[in-house]
Amino acid sequence: MPAPPGDGWTLVDIGESDTTVYRRGNVFAKCCDAAGVEELAAERARIEWLAGTGFPSAKVLDWIEVPGDGGRTAGSLDGAGAAGACLVTSAVPGVPGDTLPPEVRERAMRSLGRTLRALHELRDCPFERPLASVIATAADVVRRGAVNPQFLTDEWRKLAPTDLLAQVVAESPYVESVLEPVVCHGDACLPNIFFDPETLEVSGLIDLGRLGIADRYTDLALTTIQFHDEWSADPTPFLEAYGLPTPDPRRLTFFRLLDPLTWG
């Protein structure tokens, strides 16, 4: 896996992806080997699109490829033939949500509710995450035996991943029948949401590799369960600020189960 060119980079131990992240001042470099170039290039496109809407997020500063046998050179647009790549972005100001102290969390939840609603109201997004495609990804992860049990609840760990997938498949017709496609972050967990520590307003979103048109509960399910798991907090302030004080419990459960089956 290539490292970014130049001196002064510090390895950052964050995230769950197969990339390696470095920091130098207010700049981050996410680097991957050949197998991850296509996925990293897709993330770059999503960052560029969201930044172009004026929504608070990182900005792409550079794209560096290590040429492979395909003969491509650094700076090519699609990453084909590259032996590896580095995506260089600006740092998002503020602090990640998982570091906020208890006394400010209700204000942060309300801020995030408003921000997520604004994200979901964006238009003309060129990226999509159809539910059938996400379920297919989960089926592949389960088939390969790659489900990470740390991402599952204690109750779900008692069941075989194939049984969990069967629950998802059985419930999917209902979810499809009430689908509300919007622009979703796709991995709206607290470490990926940054806040101004003074105002508690959302200062930016990071890790946009899954951004795209999907059911709004893709984000709502993950965010609300994060409040419960990480903060032991009732998500009501978030849901009220979002404008959905009584969410559909079936869709919350569905997407909370589907998400951990898609990493691996």
Query: Active-site residue 215, yes or no?
Result: no
Tell me the C-alpha distance between 113 and 243, whole Å.
8
Q: Is the pLDDT of residue 239 over 60?
A: yes
Q: What is the mean pLDDT of residues 120-137?
A: 98
Residue 14: the pLDDT is: 62
End-to-end CA distance of the chain: 19
For residue 10, give both structure tokens: 């510090």
Q: Are 64 and 74 in contact (CB under 8 A)?
A: yes
Region of poorest pLDDT, from 65-69, 168-172, 183-187, 239-243: 65-69
Who's near 113: CB < 8 A, 6+ residues apart?
A: 237, 238, 239, 240, 241, 242, 243
Residue 205: the pLDDT is: 97
Neighbours of 219 (CB within 10 A): 24
Shortest CA distance to 139 belongs to which of 6, 264, 8?
264
pLDDT, tens digit (0-9, with 9 covering 90-100), for 192-219: 999 999 999 999 999 999 999 999 999 9
Tell me the C-alpha distance between 15 and 191, whole Å.
9
Catalytic residue, chosen from 78, 124, 187, 219, is 187
CATH code of the domain occupying 10-91: 3.30.200.20
The answer to whether 192 is annotated as binding is yes
Q: Where in the chain is the domain with CATH 3.30.200.20?
A: 10-91
Write down the pTM of the prediction.
Answer: 0.91
Architecture of the CATH domain 96-262:
Alpha-Beta Complex (3.90)
Q: Where in the chain is the domain with CATH 3.90.1200.10?
A: 96-262
